[in-house]
Amino acid sequence: SLVRQPLCRRRALLKENFVEVEGEFMFARSIDSDNTDTIAEFLEQSVPCECV
């Protein structure tokens, strides 16, 4: 079952099996990090862009 797979594996499978179509289907921007400063910066950038 895919539910038991790690998120990074499930995300990779999605990107392998779906094609982005501008204006119709796009993957959300994301990061994988254990660094709280990196995560905070990513969130700060997403708020003005309304990307959250």
Residue 27 neighbours by CB under 8 Å, 6+ apart: 14, 15, 18, 20
Give the integer Cα–Cα distance in Å for 43 and 20.
Answer: 23
Please report the pLDDT score of residue 51 as a whole number: 60
Please report the pLDDT score of residue 45 as a whole number: 86
CB 20 within 8 A of CB 27: yes
Please report the pLDDT score of residue 47 as a whole number: 78
Give the integer Cα–Cα distance in Å for 48 and 6.
Answer: 30
Please report the pLDDT score of residue 50 as a whole number: 63
For the chain, the domains span 2-49
Summarize pLDDT for 1-52 with one digit per residue, the tens.
899 999 999 999 999 999 999 999 999 888 999 999 999 999 988 877 666 5
